Structure 1
Amino acid sequence: MWYRSEITKKLGVQYPIIQAGMAGGVTTPELVAAVSNSGALGTLGAGYMTPETMQQAIKQIKQLTDQPFAVNLFIPEIPNVDTEAINQANEWLRPYREALQLTKPEVKQPSSSNYEKQLEILLQEGVPICSFTFGVPDKETIQKLKQHHLLLIGTATTVQEAMINEVNGMDMVVMQGSEAGGHRGTFLGEFEDAMIGTMALVPQAVDQVSIPVIAAGGIMDGRGILAALTLGAQAVQMGTAFLTCLESGAKKQHKEAILHTTEEQPVITSAFSGKPARGIKNQFITEMAAYEKDLPSYPIQNALTKEIRREAANQNRPEWMHLWSGQGPRLSRQQAAGEMISKWILQIDERIK
């Protein structure tokens, strides 16, 4: 059968479909479990979670499914706190805070302590699979996780990044094309130099690395899945496609924006987090565009806008929210995750016949 591969065997799943570990509350335990119960691989996006919240979510997932699932973590980035840049950014953000009746947040020096505690929770809870974004774990961490029999999935946006994942000992790698929504996993060189489309990126990576390749970026239905497999990928990772499903924890305004936008509206912006990400163009992106090159680095800018984004959702101001989306929004649907997966499998079967 078309869906049997080295990856499905290693992951212990029926279908070569991975739900992306979208951080920020989208990947509820209900979504992760629904995907895994449907024969694909659900992923908890734990990048922004505290270790305690992450552990609680893992326990909930275990109650909802006995199938394999994954947890996605962010490799920590620790820039120096630039007080002058923060003060300037706060001045640019002041009109939004005033309109939403917010005060300036306290900015703390980023550290790796949260990430290190998250790794310990993975081992305590016996999580079977872990994926990483924004870099590759050091070899010592990889060795420790593998001693506890975790399967490790890396993320890359260039062939060279894929090769680094392989050399460091990752078991498989997600090749994330420029069509992808939200933050991409670029960690080597400039983001602009890694804007390679999925269709060009995947076969080149397949030819250069021996670990299994997972295709991501702009894949929204059975046609995209089959195309990726034809290019040599052994599985796909899908984010935006799951963001609008019933079990998703995305804000209502976010779902509605994706369901009612068109392919040219998702643009690249650093305004929300200090790191380039693809989201639906709105007032905040447009007004902050002039300042992007002078904003504090991620994750500091992300911390500065956190309450603005949250309160904008609470006050129904989608024009100031981060509305992450890939380039295929016209293909988005609002239905149960299991129904979507079944539909995609049927689409592939029909095309193969």
Structure 2
Amino acid sequence: MRVPARFGGLGGLAVPVVAAPMAGGPSTPELVAAVTAAGGLGFLAAGYRSAAAMTEEIHRLGELTGRPFGVNLFVPSDAPSGTAPVAAYRERLRPEAERHGVLLPAAVAPDRDDWDAKIAALTADPVPLVSYTFGLPSPDEARALRAAGTYQIGTVTSAAEARLAAAAGMDALCVQGPEAGGHRGTFRVAAAPGRTPLPELLAEVRAVSGLPLIAAGGIADGPAVAAALRAGAAAVQLGTAYLCADEAGTSAAHRAALTDPGFTGTVVTRAFTGRAARGLRNAFIDRYEPYAPAVYPEVHHLTRPLRAAAAERGDTAAMHLWAGTGHRLARTGPAAETTRELWRAAQSAPGPSASTDR
């Protein structure tokens, strides 16, 4: 593969738009390459993938672009697993499994998402950027990647997490507001995700850290991009806006649901994975959210057969349909054109020029 260029910092982006890492399929090498070709920045999602699969995607992306790109890692939790709550939830889900004709795992083994092997691979064969979700690397791990020349970004959902990320030596922070689709990046699994709107959260983080900030959460059009940049962000991160892009790996059923008027909104739920995550509200969430334990990734593995069966049938009443609050604005077409159009719209949005506030 081509050796990607080193990353010169968020201020060097021609277009300060970042394609969020979306684990589970939507983020593809083709999507990342398209956004980088338009002057933005894209991330591969290594969560739920083995180190070997991550490396394969990195090599594929290296064949598509020589521009800088990032890889996102899920930081494993050191919290003890909740065996009894997961077992109780399994019993609660048994009728659902019978309806779908699937077996739920009797037990879920500990899972660190192949973390050690991923860190080793990224240290031996560095990529320009690495971002972290659900926590931070150890000091030794952060130092090793820094020595390899990798720019590191910590995902934070509060000022307290921002302080920890800055102390850990992160080069920038991705500030994730409550409007974001998919999992909230809280450091603790059981932590109740904050509700401070993104503009206010940016101000709170800015008050405790001078690191460059990436704003994430509910940003789906030009005016929202411009507002986040005026609020002090160096760049904005969008995920849901790219779910319907030609290059995204999003399923047909998920794509259709994003603009289906039958889905009246999004909600934060633990029903599918045990971690708080925002998605389109459906029947599965209504039935099981009150009983879902805050245990991750055990609940994720427990419900995986159910979600796979629902996805195979295109059953949106039982699928996890991650989406942010701006899901109605998800765009079809090439991701590069979406990126360019977002930036054009941001530059022409009312108020001070977005380009002068970076």
TM-score normalized with structure 1 length: 0.92
Relative contact order, CA 8 A, sep 6+: which one is greater?
2
Q: Which residue of 1 aligns with 2:4?
A: none
Aligned to 1:75: 75
> Distance between the aligned counterparts of 1:190 and 1:91, measured in 2?
21
Unaligned runs of 5+ in 2: 1-6
AA partner of residue 343 (structure 2): I
Q: What is the letter of the counterpart of residue 284 of structure 2? A: F
Q: Distance in 2 between matches of 1:251 and 1:79?
A: 33
Give the TM-score normalised by the residue count of structure 2: 0.91
Query: Greater CA deviation, 130-139 or 204-213?
Result: 204-213
Deviation at residue 231 of structure 1 after TM alignment: 0.4
Question: Which residue in the other structure is 1:99 paired with?
Answer: 99
Structure 1 residue aligned with 2:295: 297
Measure, in 2, the Cα distance between the counterparts of 1:176 and 1:296: 20
- Report what 1:187 is aligned to: 187
Q: Alpha-carbon deviation of 1:82? A: 4.2
Structure 1: unaligned runs, 5 residues or longer: 1-7
CA 1:345–1:269 in 2, change beyond 3 Å: closer, same or farther?
same
Identity %, equivalent residues: 37
Aligned partner of 1:233 in structure 2 is 233
Structure 1 counterpart of 2:18: 18
Deviation digits for residues 135-177 of structure 1 (CA, Å, limit 9, x no counterpart): 1112111111100000000011111111111111000001111
User: How many Å separate the matches in 2 of 1:189 and 1:80?
Assistant: 11
Mapping of residues 1-353 of structure 1, within 5 Å:
9-11=8-10, 13-112=13-112, 114-187=114-187, 191-192=191-192, 194-261=194-261, 265-292=265-292, 295=293, 297-351=295-349, 352=353
Q: How many residues align?
A: 344
Q: How has the CA–CA distance of structure 1 residues 313 and 333 changed in structure 2, closer, same or farther, with 3 Å as cutoff? A: same
Q: CA deviation at 1:111?
A: 4.1
- 2:3 counterpart residue number: none
Decide which structure has greater helix share.
1
**In 1, Cα distance between equivalents of 2:178 and 2:311:** 27
Residues 231-266 of structure 1: CA distance to partner in whole angstroms, max 9, x if unpaired? 011111111111121111111111111122589610
What whole-Å deviation, never above 9, does each CA across 1:64-118 have from its counterpart, x for those lacking one? 1111110000110144444433332222111222122111225333243711101
Q: CA RMSD in A?
A: 2.0
**d(CA) in 1 for partners of 2:322, 2:99:** 23
Amino acid at match of 1:203: A
Q: SS of the residue aligned with 2:348?
A: helix
Superposed displacement of residue 126, structure 1 = 2.2
Q: Secondary structure at the match of 1:153?
A: strand
Please state how far the C-alpha of 1:124 moved relative to its aligned partner: 3.2
Change (3 A) 1:205 1:80: closer
Q: What is the deviation of 1:315?
A: 1.4
Cα distance in 2, alignment partners of residues 117 and 261 from structure 1: 43
Provide Cα deviations, 1:311-335, integer angstroms capped at 9, x if missing partner. Answer: 1110121111000111112222212
